[in-house]
Amino acid sequence: MPRCAVTRRVHFNAAHRLYNPRFSEQWNRETFGQCSNLNYHGHNYELELTVEGEIAPETGYVMDLNQLKELAQEHLIRHLDHQNLNLDVPWFQSLNPTSENIALVCWRELRPVVPAELALRVRLWETPRNYVDYEGA
């Protein structure tokens, strides 16, 4: 059966501050620069969700992208959109909300609800120039 990768792009706005509480304010400032500013800053995140698998002969789909959109809304976006990641989102209570860690969390939350036979990859754009990929490792 031919295989194909299909992608849905979703969006959320969120504020964060990069900060490791195990280290001093000075270390955080030197390590994270402006990203560690005390009063937070925002990003327009773009999240690309890619599932890969066999094209089902009955539908011609790998997965209904509308279903993927709804899973993303329910399991990711409603928890993240217009939130302060450090203060409002329990996933980041003790996890620095870098792009890497946000991508990892999104994959972890979505993986159990995407059909097991499909591979899942996430690409998180923090700015139009910076993105990270995670596919579970």
**30, 52, 126, 135: which is the annotated catalytic residue?**
126
CB nearer to Ni ion: give 35 or 65: 35
User: How far from 124 is each of 25, 29, 82, 132, 135, CA to CA, in Å?
Assistant: 27, 24, 16, 5, 11
55 lies in the binding site for Ni ion (CB under 5 A): no
Part of the chain binding Ni ion (CB under 5 A), chosen from 32-40, 76-84, 94-102, 108-116? 32-40
Task: Please say if 126 is a catalytic residue.
Answer: yes
Is 106 a catalytic site residue? no
User: Does residue 35 bind Ni ion (CB under 5 A)?
Assistant: yes
Piece in contact with Ni ion (CB under 5 A), picked from 31-39, 99-107, 111-119, 129-137: 31-39
Residue 65 touches Ni ion, criterion: CB under 5 A: no
- End-to-end CA separation in angstroms for the chain: 26
Using the contact rule CB under 5 A, the part of the chain among 34-42, 53-61, 62-70, 106-114 near Ni ion is 34-42
Q: Which of 4, 11, 35, 43 is catalytic?
A: 35
Does 35 participate in catalysis according to the annotation?
A: yes
Three-class HEC string of the chain: CCEEEEEEEEEEEEEECCCCCCCCHHHHHHHHHHHHCCCCEEEEEEEEEEEEEECCCCCCCCCCHHHHHHHHHHHHHHHHCCEEHHHHCHHHCCCCCCHHHHHHHHHHHHHHHCCCCCEEEEEEECCCCCEEEECCC
Shorter beta-carbon distance to Ni ion: residue 4 or 35? 35
Q: Which residues bind Ni ion (CB under 5 A)?
A: 35
> Catalytic amino acids?
35, 82, 126
